Amino acid sequence: MMSRAVDTGTDQLLCAVVDQVATVSFNRPEKRNALGDVVTPALREILLVLEADPDVRVIILTGVGKSFCAGGDVKGMAGGGPDDRTIDDKIRALQHRQQTLTLRLHELAKPTIAALPGAAAGAGMSIALACDIRIGATSAFYATGFAAIGLSGDYGGSWQLTQIVGPAKAKEIYFTGRRVYAEEALALGLLNEVVADEELATRAAELARQIASGPPLALRYMKQNINRATQADFRTCLDWEADRLVRVAQTQDHKEAVRAFIEKRPPVFKGA
């Protein structure tokens, strides 16, 4: 099992690839892995790098230490010099930042897994919810955190949360800002699985390897189908499924899977 490091441009964000699985780790444990002007742009860029890397089939996003990501650095919000931009300029800038982070995660061509060792708060919650699958340690919890600092929310958390738990529960969680601990998060569908703290990294890697052994293009189309199902009607989704299935049926991976089925052996998918 060979591991290779991928340069993110900063030690605030780590990345390593093992067995076609890339693990990206927030590395600001002293700040509960809060976002900032260094780590956040690095995350945007590494997602593009990994999406284009043919050796990467699945991406795990996690945090070093006892937090996943605490969201924006609240203490940092108090500093900074004068900002002469107009309101419209600020809105456009935030829209761009959101589109190149959580929208990028949501639409990424490869499956993503968020592994939560602890808090996923504010924009950190939004990032976790933008991943395809979420595994939490028993110490994990979600917190919107926005009301406590007089903000309404960003990075798509309100959309993602509403898709999963429905509008009434989403409003309650946002309005109160209360913590949603692991067992409740599991019951609500905000986590797919909860494991002991010390088992989180192992379990996330195990699941990622299982998914990575699958047919990459078919998995990509599955993700597109399911994402579209949250926004389009049944007829549109049926047409989309037909288009994708016929396309993937032409691939060598499909032919390999059929041969493997007949020969009673595991298929070996090459992404072609």
What is the per-residue pLDDT across 229-260, written as a single tens digit (0 to 9) for each? 999 999 999 999 999 999 999 999 999 999 99
Sign of CA dihedral 20, 71, 99, 230: positive
- The per-residue pLDDT of the chain, averaged, comes to 96
As a whole number of Å, the CA-based R_g of the chain is 19
Task: Look at residue 74 in the predicted model and tell me its pLDDT.
Answer: 77
pLDDT at 82: 77
What pLDDT sits at residue 35? 96
d(CA 195, CA 113): 14
Which tens digit of pLDDT belongs to each residue from 66-121? 999 999 877 766 566 678 899 999 999 999 999 999 999 999 999 999 999 999 99
Q: Are 56 and 110 in contact (CB under 8 A)?
A: yes
Side chain identity, residue 57: R
User: What are the DSSP calls for 121-152, one per residue?
Assistant: ETHHHHHHHHSSEEEEETT-EEE--TGGGT--
Give 205-216 pLDDT, tens digit per residue: 999 999 999 999
The candidate with the shortest Cα–Cα distance to 28, out of 69, 74, 72, is 69
Is 59 within 8 Å of 114 (Cβ atoms)? no
Mean pLDDT of 190-196: 98
Structure tokens at 29: 């444990």
Distance CA 66, CA 122 (A): 16
Where along the chain do the CATH 1.10.12.10 domains lie?
216-263
Confidence of residue 197 (pLDDT cuts 50, 70, 90): very high
State whether residue 189 is helix, strand or coil: coil
The dihedral built from the CA positions of residue 253, 259, 261 and 264, taken in this order, carries a sign that is: negative
97 and 146 Cβ atoms separated by less than 8 Å: no
pLDDT at 51: 97
Range 216-263 has CATH code 1.10.12.10: yes
DSSP state of 204: H
Q: Is the domain 3-212 a CATH 3.40.50.300 member? A: no
Write out the residue limits of the CATH 3.90.226.10 domain(s) in the chain. Answer: 3-212
Helix (H) or strand (E) run with residue 170 in it: helix 167-176
pLDDT tens per residue, range 7-29: 999 999 999 999 999 999 999 99
